Amino acid sequence: MEPANSGALEALLKRGELVESTSEMTPDYLRELKHTLLVSGDTELISAPAYYLAARKAPSVNAFMTGIAIIQDELAHAHIAYHILEELGESQEALIFKRDPKAFRYPYAFDVPLESWTELVVANAMYDQAGFCLLGDIHEHGSYGPWKRGLVKVMAEENFHLRNGRNWSKRISQAGGEAREELQRAVDWMFPLTVEWFGLPDNLKQHSTQLDYRLKGLTNDQLRQQWLSTGFRAHSMPTRSAGTSTIRAAGMRSSSGGASGGRATPRWSPSSRRASPSSRCAHEFLPAFSRRSGAPRLPAFSRRSGAP
């Protein structure tokens, strides 16, 4: 049987208006909204320890402070999502500190450790650009008012993160030599993992309740394409071009379907998936701050020394 306010919700969404309280939601809408918020909160949260390990390898105090500022932003972004979940009836404490680490939902990419400043800035250019596309879509098209407003702050800060990624990538690329080779290696392994952030290709996806409820506005393929276009064509991480002066991204195809070349809009191919990495975050970082009784207390941040 349809819930009592199903028709009212449908009409409200059709008019392009915003949902402001649980009284306007159907149980289905609430479930989808919570799931979307949880994936967003978990991804923001897990990016903090992943970025921290790499930020410790910053080449200067200034660069280290930039890394720490980004980490502080990511924790605030996670807090926004978990805080909204609390307003929707969940316990923030339980979500962050009492969940089984394996229950956290975030892209595979964050299970692969970032081990250098170069890897951190490539992550800023790729992962933060992906976050910018995904959250920008929710900010622009989303139907839940409180989250839409919360994302104003998030978008401004993500812009700072990806600018850090682009500026440093350009700087490292221009330095040439081993620095540039290291940058290329980072792009090679991070590119297919970032492609994965956007989920299944549209032709393999049956139906999107998130689109029906306007929890997002663009499909997986549209968002992935937007990421490919904004992250690689216009800025410091271009596709392979004539000569050897640009950084290429592994697994890319030009829009004409051939190997990457020129400045054509790159397209994603499912064959660029990389095998599942080991789940370092789930096994190491998350148990480290779990308050569940009997949870192992692992020294997640004591494996390396050398913070600037």
Give the contacts of 47 (CB within 8 A, at least 6 positions apart).
71, 74, 110, 127
* Closer Cβ to Fe ion, 72 or 245, answer by number: 72
Q: What's the length of the chain? A: 308
Contact region for Fe ion (CB under 5 A) — 113-121, 122-130, 243-251, 300-308? Answer: 122-130
Given the complex with Fe ion, which of 128 and 137 has the nearer CB atom? Answer: 128
Q: How far is the CB of 70 from Fe ion (least distance, A)?
A: 6
CB atoms near residue 47 (< 10 Å)? 28
How many whole angstroms separate alpha carbon 234 and alpha carbon 3? Answer: 47
Report the SS3 class of residue 214.
coil
Residue from 24, 32, 74, 119 binding Fe ion (CB under 5 A) = 74
Measure the N-to-C terminal CA separation of the chain; round to a whole number of Å. Answer: 61
Q: Which stretch binds Fe ion (CB under 5 A): 42-50, 168-176, 186-194, 292-300?
A: 42-50
Question: Which string of x and - marks every residue 213-252 that binds Fe ion (by CB under 5 A)?
Answer: ----------------------------------------
Is the separation of the CB atoms in 8 and 42 below 8 Å? no
Write the single-letter amino acid at 213. Answer: Y
180-219: contacts with Fe ion (CB under 5 A): none
Q: Which is nearer to Fe ion, 25 or 286 (CB)?
A: 286
Q: Running DSSP on this structure, what letter comes out for residue 277? A: P
In the bound state with Fe ion, the residue whose beta carbon lies nearer, of 42 and 111, is 42
Of 142, 27, 139, nearest to 89 by C-alpha is 27
Pick the closer one to Fe ion by CB: 77 or 248: 77
Query: In whole angstroms, how close is the CB of 287 to Fe ion at the nearest point?
Result: 23
- Residue 109 in contact with residue 127, Cβ under 8 Å? yes
Stretch that binds Fe ion, among 105-113, 121-129, 164-172, 276-284 (CB under 5 A): 121-129
The interface mask with Fe ion, positions 137-166, x = CB under 5 A, is: ---------------------x--x-----
Cβ closer to Fe ion: 9 or 133?
133
Alpha helices in 56-144 (DSSP H): 61-87, 92-97, 117-141
Residues facing residue 267 across a β-bridge = 253
Q: Is 44 in the site for Fe ion (CB under 5 A)?
A: yes
Q: Residues 135, 151: contact at Cβ < 8 Å? A: yes
Dist CA 74 CA 71 (whole Å): 5
Minimum CB distance to Fe ion, residue 25 (Å): 25
Token pair for residue 142?
């989303």
Q: How far is the CB of 160 from Fe ion (least distance, A)?
A: 8
- Pull the structure tokens for residue 24: 């306007």
User: Token pair for residue 119?
Assistant: 């890897």
Contacts with Fe ion: how many residues (CB under 5 A)?
6
Binding piece for Fe ion, criterion CB under 5 A, among 57-65, 76-84, 100-108, 138-146: 76-84
* Shortest distance, position 204 Cβ to Fe ion, whole Å: 28
**Residue holding tokens 């807090």?**
79
Pick the stretch among 20-28, 72-80, 101-109, 224-232 that binds Fe ion (CB under 5 A).
72-80
DSSP 264: P
Question: Which residues lie near Fe ion (CB under 5 A)?
Answer: 44, 74, 77, 128, 158, 161
